[in-house]
Structure 1
Amino acid sequence: MTEPLSPLPLASLADAEWPAREDLARLAAALGPGNARWVGGAVRDALIGSNAKDVDCATPLHPDEVIARLKDAGIRTVPTGIDHGTVTAVLPQGPVEVTTLRRDVSTDGRRATVAFATDWREDAARRDFTINALYADPVTLEVFDYFGGLDDLACRRVRFIGDAHQRIREDHLRILRYYRFQARLGADLDRQAEDACSELAPMLKGLSRERVAMELLALLGLPDPCATAARMDTRGVLAVVLPEVDSHGLTALKAVVLQERKQGTAPSAIRRLAALLPPDRRIAEQVAARLRLSTAQKKRLVSAAERQERPGDARALAYDIGREAATDRLLLAGSEIAPLRDWEVPALPLKGGEIVARGIKAGPDVARTLRAVEQRWIAEGFPGRTRVEAMLGEILKENS
């Protein structure tokens, strides 16, 4: 980090919106007194004043008992991960995963064999970071902190619970999760965590590509991942998941983050991934395949890889490749996207039948004429119908 950040003043859970949800109160009541605590990201985010996307619930009750109690309360459940103790409660304001307290029996770095437990601290001990092992009583909103997570959160510190090496060996993805939370919190560095991530980085090769892509894109989509990406590079972590990245890519990432901020556009993880990579279609295709990106993500990444230093007229580019792809190329080149704001890509107000009606035989000549009109229309800044008709007349006269 360039400079230390001030401590975070932790908020009260009572100030967050989600703890007051009626459907959550109904869920907790169905499970019974002392049998439910909110846990993980929702609690963590509420304490730093952020909106929670998902709410998770922990319980000492076994999954079959959870299902039975929720059924009696008229709450539908889906056994989304019942082998690992997770049942999803389908609630009006969003689903909630209800997971039985657990302890790890064995792990191989990708998946764990678990046994159900009844001790809250034992469940907390198997989680990754102290800031993610915070539990809250659904009624009193008392926060239960077994490993100093509140202090770490206030200090913006991402610290593994217990031995960092052991936590990473249990789930190799925790390396990337560590850096994602570092980037998000602007955190005070934890030397043990940094050393463990660096030493065990080669283990990332054994993870499913989808899991790696999910974490990598989540990190790149944060407001400013630049310092973290640079540190991942220095510590040898980035080279394991993105060996194509060099110092030029890190510089390009800084530049595009600056352009997004300067031009008031939302961060894009795929655009930033493109910045990290060389502007080479073949490399983009290889990375997309390796990370198993979706078809849409691959298309966008490849398009961004075909960028030019001087992309030309913004609107002409958007007409040619689409608004989103043009925005990516413009920002990556440091060009203005202002011409695209509040502008819809138009359709050429001319059809082939109109050319035939002017005496041109249907076939290649019509296509050539239509393309000639289109090129002139683009060059003149997409004028209206009247001018397009005049253009057609000019081109027909020139070719007569």
Structure 2
Amino acid sequence: MTESPSAQPFPLGDSAFYEEEHEEFREVAREFVVRKVEPHYASWDAEHMMPRSLWTDAGEAGLLGLAVPEEYGGMGLTDYRFRAVLDEELVRRGALGAALAFHLNDDWVLPHLLAHGTEEQKERWLPRILTGELVTSVAWTEPGAGSDLRGVRTRAVRDREDWVLTGQKTFIGNGISGDAALVLARTDGRTDRAGEDSFSLFLVHKADSPGYEVGRQLDKMGVKASDTAELFFEDVRVPGSNLVGTQGGGLRQIQQLLPQGRLAIAVAAAAVARAALEETVRYTRDRTAFGSRVLDFQHSRFEVADLVVEVEATEAYVRRAVHAFNAGALDVVGASKAKYWASERAKAVTDRCLQLHGGYGYILEYPVAQAYLASRLLTIFGGTSEILRETIGRAVAEG
């Protein structure tokens, strides 16, 4: 018996994963994306920049800083399924750049402020993150270090109550549009190989920091709407009150909170793969060749069948990681597995979906072409697949 095409569901939500409150949040997120993002995203992509109004609009809609506790004006939504909903709605409308920009704020910087910020820091910064007045970036990567954070050469030297920061960072998302960067700097005063206690984290504000210079905007192959830049720090005086966490605790803090950042990329990658698949099924149902729909050719059906199973398996794996995170049980290895698998699958799925579009898949106005370019970032951002495989393999070797 042959099943009808309608038997293949593409649900906007998953009743086994999402609950009523998540679907209510989805309506808010969808309305925001349809009104404030989708009509303008192509022009932002062409301009290589999203307007600051995007952040204040998102703040007004209650979509920023979801985990900020109520005492600081937030909703305290620590259930990561809410973040997954927002990613899905942005990615479905081709706005992965906006999703990743929000990730930098909510999944890479905010967790450090919540876990290690002082009460004064939380009162000073969290309400402004909620409203979109404070946009942040993560300034860890350097030209000569890449994924090797122990190779970071940026230094901070104590000067009475302040620190004097000198160094260079690269590949910094929100580097131009952002107001402050969470900077990893060496604070042990040594010049030999860095140890676990060699680094600290500082939230450095651009407007208040002479010597904080934004370099050239880097011209990426995809997700162009999300600005990426080089940052330079030349004897920047940073107040001691901007040290996030403990002196010498920077690497441990990053390791502790890395699972959320990698989970965020896994969630986005699964959404990219799903969106590319949905678009490809629509295209192959409508497109005809040699008198038949493309999806009526056996090879196309087999290819789509493989993609459906691959995407659904990826979603199931990532959702298991989300449940583990919500339960406080997702460690670095588990998050690395989810990020490695989902990002590699997104890359492979978008490539095969582009092929099923034929020549139209190579035209940038088609969503699948944009998804193909965007997905290539996901195996690099937040830890390359090679680094993740090393992390996973070392854990296996150590038993």
Q: Shorter-chain TM-score: which interval?
A: under 0.3
TM-score if structure 1 supplies the norm length? 0.23
TM-score if structure 2 supplies the norm length? 0.23
Q: Which has the higher contact order (CA 8 A, sep 6+)?
A: 2
Higher strand share: 2
